[in-house]
């Protein structure tokens, strides 16, 4: 009698507890995303997972076990890292390129002379690897579809390595890639080589393209640069895309400020300074009007991208920030700040931008400045895209915009390389 009388009550308590847990999970997962973004529920689920990892990693760091970045990379390694495995169409090996670890994808058939692409992965200069499953699959498909040799570079990461270490790795690997020895060893046509990367990797690719484009001692030049939602400046955190997409997965506005400070070897306590644009206030003597003009989005962006937004330029800010963090003004870290003459010596460009991405306007402004310098530019803008979408071009979390962006990227390379 007692058991039978108690069973409904126990079931009720379990049902209520389950409902509460389900509601809590739904509350944590749900984000009020714009209606135009591709497959919002997939994005919410992935973002909830990503936020959970970041929050857990921050707790681990506060408890003194290890740096949060180390914890995140351990999770990434456990979930995503795969060995170099060849397949019937592509030979895959891990090697060194200019002293930098690199995964090489070499087609087994096709033309005798191949096209060549050197690729730099994203991850805020601190996370990820070219050996991740998503990048491995991308480079494998590029090698097969383009009949091209793809070299995916594992440059050093923060917090152990800070600027300019990542840049130096990217430059060293690129110089080696363009050397006659490497080109001949891998049967790469020196007239058909490209530098590419996404997000922080797009930043490195742009910086390398600028340096080698202006280097008269380099006999082999890149024919193309392909930049996928690149990060290109850290002086204005109030561009229209930063304002519009500040709470959009996967790159929230505070995350980007944090990545920048880690990359530049600066104290994370400066995050609020960057987010308020106090580091680029008018009383900063190290920022000239000429520098400000290079990221003046009121002049560089199309009218439809800026009509609902106003610039945030402080008259007074945090004195000495730029002087104490000189990387903020270094064109090797912020390629958008390059001189017009330097931009004009870079190769034809493909710039991917996504509507729902804080970095959208970095890419749009860079495309405009490249065009003004006489460079042939294709801006591939995805109206339903979000930051990092291309790495979600495969199962299990495949997105339609991820597939489209990947296919468009490979198609442009096929037609222009």
Strands (E), 229-337: none
How far apart, in whole angstroms, are the C-alpha atoms of residue 387 and residue 247?
12
How far apart, in whole angstroms, are the C-alpha atoms of residue 165 and residue 322?
20
Tokens 């007239």, residue located: 191
Strands (E), 108-145: 114-120
Contact assessment for residue 63 and residue 117, using Cβ atoms and an 8 Å cutoff: no
Per annotation, catalytic residue among 357, 361, 362, 380: 357
Q: Is 264 helix (H, G, I), strand (E, B) or coil?
A: coil
Instruction: Tell me, yes or no, if 68 is annotated catalytic.
Output: no
DSSP3 helix / strand / coil % (the chain, rounded to 5): 50, 15, 35
The two beta strands, 377-386 and 148-153, are: unpaired
The residue among 277, 268, 278, 280 whose CA lies nearest residue 158 is 268
Q: Is 221 helix (H, G, I), strand (E, B) or coil?
A: coil
H or E element that contains 54: helix 40-62
* C-alpha distances in Å from residue 34, one per residue of 81, 235, 252, 314, 340: 32, 27, 15, 30, 36
24: tokens are 């809590």
Q: Is 97 helix (H, G, I), strand (E, B) or coil?
A: strand
How far apart, in whole angstroms, are the C-alpha atoms of residue 62 and residue 269?
15
Per annotation, catalytic residue among 134, 152, 174, 199: 199
Q: What is the dihedral of CA 31, 32, 36, 39, to 10 degrees?
A: 30
Instruction: Tell me, yes or no, if 199 is annotated catalytic.
Output: yes
**Which letter does DSSP use for residue 347 in this model?**
P
* C-alpha distances in Å from residue 84, one per residue of 140, 143, 227: 11, 14, 25
232: tokens are 């290109």
For the chain, state the CA radius of gyration: 23
Name residues whose C-beta falls within 8 Å of residue 353's C-beta, 6 or more positions apart in sequence: 229, 359, 360, 363, 364, 367, 379, 380, 381, 382, 385
How far apart, in whole angstroms, are the C-alpha atoms of residue 201 and residue 212?
16
The catalytic site residues sit at 199, 357, 387
């Amino acid at each position: 009698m007692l058991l039978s009388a108690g069973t409904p009550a126990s079931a009720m308590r379990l049902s209520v507890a389950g409902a509460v847990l389900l509601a809590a999970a739904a509350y944590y997962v749900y984000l009020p995303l714009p209606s135009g973004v591709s497959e919002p529920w997939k994005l919410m689920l992935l973002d909830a997972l990503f936020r959970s990892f970041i929050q857990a990693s921050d707790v681990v760091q506060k408890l003194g076990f290890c740096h949060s970045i180390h914890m995140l990379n351990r999770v990434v390694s456990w979930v995503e890292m795969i060995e170099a495995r060849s397949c019937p169409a592509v030979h895959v090996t891990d090697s060194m390129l200019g002293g930098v670890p690199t995964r090489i994808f070499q087609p087994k058939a096709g033309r005798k002379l191949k096209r060549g692409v050197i690729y730099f992965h994203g991850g805020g200069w601190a996370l990820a690897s070219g050996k991740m499953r998503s990048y491995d699959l991308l480079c494998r498909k590029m090698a097969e579809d383009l009949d091209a040799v793809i070299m995916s570079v594992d440059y050093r990461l923060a917090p152990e390595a800070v600027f300019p270490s990542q840049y130096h790795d990217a430059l060293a690997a690129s110089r080696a890639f363009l050397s006659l020895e490497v080109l001949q060893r891998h049967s790469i046509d020196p007239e058909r080589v490209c530098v590419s990367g996404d997000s922080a990797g797009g930043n490195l690719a742009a910086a390398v393209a600028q340096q080698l484009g202006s280097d008269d001692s380099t006999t082999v030049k890149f024919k193309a640069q392909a930049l996928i939602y690149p990060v290109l400046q850290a002086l204005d955190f109030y561009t229209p895309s930063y304002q519009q997409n500040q709470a959009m997965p996967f790159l929230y506005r505070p995350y980007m400020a944090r990545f920048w400070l880690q990359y530049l070897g600066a104290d994370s306590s400066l995050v609020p300074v960057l987010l308020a644009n106090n580091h680029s206030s008018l009383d900063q003597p190290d920022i000239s009007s000429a520098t400000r003009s290079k990221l003046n989005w009121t002049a560089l962006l199309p009218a439809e991208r800026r009509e609902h937004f106003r610039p945030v330029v402080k008259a007074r800010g945090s004195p000495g920030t730029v002087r104490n963090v000189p990387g903020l003004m270094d064109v090797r870290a912020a390629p958008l700040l390059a001189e017009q003459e330097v931009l004009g010596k870079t190769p034809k460009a493909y710039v991917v931008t996504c509507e729902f991405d804080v970095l959208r306007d970095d890419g749009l402004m860079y495309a405009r400045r490249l065009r003004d310098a006489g460079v042939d530019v294709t801006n591939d803008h995805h109206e339903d895209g979000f930051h990092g979408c291309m790495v979600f071009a495969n199962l299990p979390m495949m997105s339609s915009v991820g597939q489209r962006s990947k296919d468009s990227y490979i198609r442009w390379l096929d037609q222009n390389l």
